[in-house]
Amino acid sequence: MVGAGILCSRLFGLVRQRVFSHYFGLSDAADIFSAALRVPNFLQNLFGEGVLSASFIPVYARLLAQHKQEEADRLAGAIFAILALIISLIVALGILATPYLLWLIAPGYTGEKRELTILIVRILFPGTGILVWSAWCLGILNSHHKFFLSYAAPVIWNLCMILSMLIFRHLEANRLIVYLAWGTVLGCLLQFLVQLGPVLKLVPTLRLRLDMQSLHVKQVGGSFLGVAIGRGVVQISAFVDQAISTLLGSGAVAGMTTAASINLLPVSLFGMAVSASELPTLSRMAGDHVDAEVAAKLSARLNNGLERIAFFIVPSAMAFFALGNVIVAALYQTGAFTTKDSYYVWAILAGSGVGLLASTFGRLYSSTYYALRDTRTPLRFAMVRLAFTVVLGLASALLIPKALGIPMQWGAVGLTASAGVAGWIEFHLLRRKMNQNLGPTGIALLLMAKLWIAAGVAALAACVVEHYMPAWGPILTATLVLSTYGIAYFAVTFQLHIPTCREVVQKLMRRFGLG
């Protein structure tokens, strides 16, 4: 259900990005909105979905498992009230401090480009604050095993942005992004409201009270601080990449944002879906004490999740490397977005494929740490990741293009690839520490080798189809090429007796009444 909800959301996100690319391409206006959206999103990521889920769900889910509904309701009300107070103060300060924040986030923007970015950021700040309340709704719904609505709710946010661009499409680009910003804020509000009704039914005795003395609130607060700092480190890493990309010339920021919209699809569908759906279960399994028996169960659950993630992420990474041009062209090559832009974004996307597996594995390991109420370990390793991201990013983006004598714009490829290398370092540290707690975890090398071989064979078949296809347009080309790729991958993994493949095939056969 998490995967289905995320799929709906991401598909509409791709439509939104396609409409955005149609009207803005990789222009200065596209750079402005992409950079502006990143600034208030820091607030959402610092207090939102990932952080709130990791700190709130383990405590709230345990209360529900112990049939303490009233205590759970009091906890939910207290957390909402505390969030409302903190977010209101931060949004107000953020609006006032936007000009100073922009020197850190987009140092390459000057003059009119800088002033317009400041305006867009100030418009967007309240909306992203509202999204934090939406994350509170998600935590409650997930704890009650209501997964679909919370992850499908962003469809409304995407729709508001799409409609804003279509309604005001005749305006000049710099005016259009202002209306788009207001449409984004409206979408944030509607995304929260659509979840609020079902939440109120699940929390019948909800009272909004600033109860700072509650033991359960203190438990959430203690975990929240550690997770928020860890997420903040990850966000700083993303901001470093963006700050560097503003120095690479026009189109670099928009190109990275476009590539990220594709990269996030498998991360969300498989990495986030498995991690989010496992967190409540892992929290219940961990309980208050982890003995040898519980450790063995947690290890088995973790390994099973890793295998499911790998089955889908390995072919996703291979597709980014071998078929990225087909994917980008089908999604975004329209209007102001040209064939040249497609190849540029493909290069950035291929760079992001370097760390795709590590980032998705890392999410599940982090969820397991959070279920064990250990927020410090992921934080320490996130700091290590940040250090490597900064050093490798600066070298890859600013030094390598000069050394090779190529345009600075291509430094964006080095940024995504170096971030992937840093992600692998973080994943290795997370796994090593977890192995000390639960015993050996991870995926067998033979299974990983089979998955990569299957993906390689499938990519070869897809490339042959692409090579011999007539010029039928990007969408039809992608349909045939990617269909070949998917069918070939499933066929090879089925023949190699990959358990996840056979489970998926059996579920599909039962769904269509064939098994």
| 164, 301: one domain | no
Q: What is the pLDDT of residue 482?
A: 94
Instruction: Check if the beta carbon of residue 401 is closer than 8 Å to that of residue 243.
Output: no
Structure tokens at 105: 């986030």
Give residue 458's pLDDT.
96
Same-domain status, 289 and 436: yes
Q: How far is CA 228 from CA 166, 172, 232, 312, in A?
A: 37, 39, 6, 29
Q: Domain end: 392, 413, 443, which one?
A: 443
Which distant-in-sequence residues (6+ apart) come within 8 Å of 80 by Cβ? 133, 136, 206, 208
Return the pLDDT at 479: 92
* 199 and 256 together in one domain: no
Residues 133 and 252 in one domain: no
Q: Alpha carbon 493 to chain centroid distance? A: 27
The CA-based dihedral angle spanning residues 489, 259, 404, 321, taken in that order and rounded to the nearest 10 degrees: 0
Q: Is 473 left (phi over 0), alpha (psi -120 to 50) or beta?
A: left
Among residues 477, 443, 447, the alpha carbon closest in space to that of 462 is found at 477
Domain that holds residue 39: 1-233
Mean pLDDT by 10 residues, the chain (515 residues): 74 84 81 76 64 74 79 85 85 85 72 85 86 83 79 87 92 90 92 88 82 79 70 68 77 82 82 75 71 83 90 94 92 83 91 91 87 82 87 86 85 89 93 89 92 96 91 89 94 91 82 69
Location of structure tokens 């992001």: 352
Helices (H), 333-410: 339-352, 356-371, 376-394, 400-404
* Overall number of domains in the chain: 2
Query: Does a structural domain hold residue 138?
Result: yes
Is 291 found in the same domain as 267?
A: yes
What was the pLDDT predicted at 105?
A: 67
465 within a domain of the structure (yes/no): no
- The reply to whether 285 falls in a domain is yes
Q: E strand or H helix at 475, and its extent?
A: helix 474-495
Q: Is 70 exposed, middle or buried (0-12, 13-18, 19+ CB in 10 A)?
A: exposed
Position 361 scores a pLDDT of 92
Whether 470 is in a domain gets the answer no
Q: What is the pLDDT of residue 196?
A: 87
Show which of 174, 204, 233 is a domain's final residue. Answer: 233
Residues 358, 264: one domain?
A: yes
Look at residue 495 in the predicted model and tell me its pLDDT: 92
Q: Are 263 and 390 in a shared domain?
A: yes
**In a shared domain, residues 396 and 338:** yes
Helices (H) and strands (E) in the chain, counts: 20, 0
**In terms of domains, do 291 and 217 share one?**
no
* C-alpha to C-alpha distance for 260 and 412, rounded to whole angstroms: 12
Q: Are residues 191 and 268 in the same domain?
A: no
The verdict on residue 155 lying in a domain is yes
| 515 domain-assigned | no
CA–CA separation, 40 vs 124, rounded Å?
A: 7
Q: Locate all alpha helices (DSSP H) within 246-338, ordered by sequence.
A: 252-266, 273-286, 292-332
C-alpha distances in angstroms, 146 versus 12, 287, 299, 387, 512?
21, 21, 25, 38, 25
The answer to whether position 463 is within a domain reads no
Does residue 390 lie in a domain region?
A: yes
Q: Which of 209, 233, 257 is the last residue in one of the domains? A: 233
Report the predicted TM-score, pTM, of the whole model to 2 decimal places.
0.71
- The answer on 288 and 156 residing in a single domain is no
Same domain, 158 and 258: no
